[in-house]
Amino acid sequence: MFAYLNEPGVEGIGIAFTDRLGGASRGQFTSFNLGHTDEDELSALRTNMHRLRERLGIGPVCVVKQVHGTTIRTIDAGAALAASEDAWLGDRVEGLAPLARADAQVSTSGAVALAVRVADCVPVLLADEATHAIAAVHAGRVGLLSGVLQAAVGAMRAHGARTLVAWVGPHICGRCYEVPAAMQEQACAVIPALRATTSWGTPSLDLGAGAQDVLEREAVQVHRLDPCTRTDARFFSHRGDHGRTGNQIGLIWRVAGHVGPAAAG
Ligand SMILES: [Zn+2]
């Protein structure tokens, strides 16, 4: 279920990166799928999310429809409290609000849990040790180049964040993420740290190195928790599974009863 859980941690904040093991989904989604909610069996999706929440003791998990952009969704405690258990299935279940289109979620108060869904792209979790602001960011190639990480950091700083920590989760590595030479040149003109070579000697991009470079330039402390999703069988991989696969998530939440100074009083 978990590739990483609360390690290394920040007091009052929970973080997790899931893997594909220990769930109820079948076929290409075997088995702990928490994405592709329009295709997987509804009962399996609900079982998987229930197991996750039971295990962690958290409320409804906030998700967005990720579109490789830089739009940030700010979640306040009231919205999170009002969310139903099925809210994350908003694009699937009739009567629920459709998911907001965004690639970063930021929350500054309350017992809120934020998830980013991935299967090769980079999941980045952010927390501020002082204010306990948190964020979950979908940082694939397009998002990285568009500045989604800088946008999320900027939004947290605008809410008073001062000492930011980031966890870069499992994604496809630079030895596997082959791209056309022209695409590599275009990307490295924006973020030189992306430049890499596949294990078979062709141009590639190292998204983790790129994310780390962007975050460190923003004075964020970075933890890399990122085995390769394409070669490590614990993970869903868009490329490794030829586009037919599920999603693992990066999840960050405020621990109940320890909701941080921003929510005090
Ligand atoms: Zn790899």
Ligand 1 centre to CA of 208 (Å) is: 11
Task: Please give the pLDDT value at position 162.
Answer: 95
* Reported confidence tier of residue 261, pLDDT bands at 50, 70, 90: low
d(CA 147, CA 76): 23
Show the domain range for 228.
Answer: 2-171+222-256
Tell whether 212 is covered by a domain.
no
Task: Please give the pLDDT value at position 263.
Answer: 42
CA dihedral 239, 241, 246, 248 (to 10 degrees): -60
Ligand 1 centre to CA of 194 (Å) is: 14
Ligand 1 centre to CA of 150 (Å) is: 26
Ligand 1 centre to CA of 61 (Å) is: 29
Ligand 1 centre to CA of 230 (Å) is: 5
* Reported confidence tier of residue 81, pLDDT bands at 50, 70, 90: confident
Tens digit of each residue's pLDDT (9 = 90 or more) over 3-17: 999 999 999 999 999
Ligand 1 centre to CA of 20 (Å) is: 17
Task: Please give the pLDDT value at position 79.
Answer: 76
The answer, yes or no, to whether residue 73 has pLDDT greater than 70, is yes
Q: Which CATH number belongs to the domain containing residue 113 in this structure? A: 3.60.140.10
Ligand 1 centre to CA of 239 (Å) is: 10
Q: Residue range 81-97: average pLDDT? A: 86
Domain total in the chain? 1
The answer, yes or no, to whether residue 77 has pLDDT greater than 90, is no
Tell whether 109 is covered by a domain.
yes
Task: Please give the pLDDT value at position 265.
Answer: 33
Tell me the percentage of the chain whose pLDDT exceeds 90: 86
Tell whether 166 is covered by a domain.
yes
Tell whether 186 is covered by a domain.
no
Mean pLDDT, all residues of the chain: 94
Tell me the percentage of the chain whose pLDDT exceeds 70: 97
Ligand 1 centre to CA of 174 (Å) is: 6
Q: Residue range 31-38: average pLDDT? A: 95
Tell whether 191 is covered by a domain.
no
Tell whether 185 is covered by a domain.
no
Task: Please give the pLDDT value at position 258.
Answer: 61
Tell whether 264 is covered by a domain.
no
Ligand 1 centre to CA of 175 (Å) is: 5
Ligand 1 centre to CA of 99 (Å) is: 31
Ligand 1 centre to CA of 228 (Å) is: 4
Tens digit of each residue's pLDDT (9 = 90 or more) over 138-189: 999 999 999 999 999 999 999 999 999 999 999 999 999 999 999 999 999 9
The answer, yes or no, to whether residue 197 has pLDDT greater than 50, is yes
Tell whether 143 is covered by a domain.
yes
Ligand 1 centre to CA of 27 (Å) is: 23
Ligand 1 centre to CA of 262 (Å) is: 40
The answer, yes or no, to whether residue 256 has pLDDT greater than 80, is no
Task: Please give the pLDDT value at position 181.
Answer: 98
Kindly report which listed range (33-42, 139-148, 172-181, 256-265) carries the lowest average pLDDT score: 256-265
Task: Please give the pLDDT value at position 76.
Answer: 82
Ligand 1 centre to CA of 193 (Å) is: 17
